[in-house]
Amino acid sequence: MRQVWRLFMLSALCSGVVFGAAIAAEPDHVEVGVLLPLTGPFAGVAETQKEGALLAVDVVNQRGGLDMPWGKVRVSAVVDDDEAKLDVGVRRYRYMVAQGVKGVGGQTWAPLAYAVNAMVSREAMTYFPLCVMSKEGYQKGKLADSTFATAYSPWSIGYMSGKSAIDVLGKRRIFFLARSDSFGWDMRDGVRAAAKQYGADVVGYDEVPLGTSDFTAILTKVQAAKPDIFVFAQFGADAVALLKQVHQMGLGKDMDVFNAFITNVVASGVPAEDLQGVYAMTYFYYDLGTFPDKDVAASARAFTDLFRAKYQSPPDAYAAIAYIAYTEMFRGFEAAKSFDPHKVAAALMANSGAFNTVKGPAQWREDHEPIYKYAAFLVRGKGPNERKDGWDLFTVIGSQGGQEVLPTPKALGY
């Protein structure tokens, strides 16, 4: 009897140790990675992405942390600089993983996002690219099972720009200027698809490399083609330089001017008189006060108020991309009741992949690309006499969204 008692006590003790170890293994604090090019040519955009990510961390911690089965779990962000360099970004991503982060978001430069996604394919991690990834990156077999991108490809930007130019602005003769890389070529293909579908002609085309500063010869060619709208893919400093030269050469007197994708950071670098009357698509604009969907306008205003309280300026489009990404990452952790990337991915895709954002409802598609009701907003630049302050850059005049603005799953191999 004494021997039986000893065995019982030993068993209970061992069970208690194992049970105690299991409890101890459940964290009350986790870290997530924020890996962005905080120095170099994309630093201005990366700073806004970082701000959006850190605000999402603040919001979840203000409600006590992640709601996990074993209790509340607070979140910290580990921020590092990928410098928009493949070797640096890959090395720093690996270091974050080695340090035990539970998820990573980042990248402004799409080729680095593609490289990180390849590593995620080999060793699963909950990963949210914060950039506009190439259409190729969404192809079946290339996107990792645990990678989710809250933006979309340049093809969609081109398609939405083309459709807006034709269907909203009533234009039928388009001159399109691409950038000589996947960003510009995908966008070109999207514009051509919209033109074919909606009955317009691309009457002129050219492309220039990233970093072009003198567009005089191109703009002379645009004038000679006599389009009724000039659509261009240039972004960042390239777009600023181009818009200044468009104004200097007076192109806006003969045709409408349309920058396919813009952000507050870029637009604020353009003189107000050069931005006046210019059309563009943007992922998010903070002032939706005149937007017909009042629920979305209220949601955008609430997000803007939170952002202003922390940073004293309204959120940029890329800040919204990052905020939505980390909000979804945290929702995935809670829905999965786990930090396991495979379980998180399955949880995000549950219930038809439906989720809500600061810019309205969305749904994860099988290629882990979101179908947004409002994928992008059509805006028109304000001149110096129209502005209330330095961030009063645009008037929102429309939107594009739905399944139509994405490449078909079949085109991506699904």
| pLDDT, tens digit (0-9, with 9 covering 90-100), for 234-280 | 998 999 999 999 999 999 999 999 999 999 999 999 999 999 999 99
Which of the residue ranges 1-5, 202-206, 215-219, 353-357 would you say has the lowest mean pLDDT?
Answer: 1-5
Percent of the chain residues past pLDDT 90, beyond the cut? 92
What's the full length of the chain, in residues? 414
Q: How many other C-beta atoms can be found within 10 angstroms of the C-beta atom of residue 56?
A: 25
pTM of the model: 0.92
- State how far the Cα of 175 lies from the Cα of 400, in Å rounded to an integer: 21
The predicted structure's pLDDT at residue 339 = 98
Q: E-strand spans in 198-265?
A: 201-208, 229-232, 256-259
Residue from 386, 297, 399, 339 nearest 97 by CA:
339
Same fold: 24-151+300-372 with 154-282+375-412:
yes
Chain-wide mean pLDDT for the chain?
93
| pLDDT for the residue 39 | 93
Residue 182: the pLDDT is 92
Sketch the domain layout of the chain as residue ranges. 24-151+300-372, 154-282+375-412
Model confidence over 98-113: pLDDT tens digits? 999 999 999 999 999 9
Q: pLDDT tens, 349-384?
A: 999 999 999 999 999 999 999 999 999 999 999 999
Residue 68 has pLDDT above 80, yes or no: yes
Res 244: pLDDT: 97
Return d(Cα 384, Cα 401) in angstroms, integer: 30
**Architecture of domain 154-282+375-412 in CATH?**
3-Layer(aba) Sandwich (3.40)
Task: Select 24-151+300-372's CATH number: 3.30.390.50, 3.40.50.2300, 3.90.1150.10, 3.40.50.720.
Answer: 3.40.50.2300
**What pLDDT does 42 receive?**
87
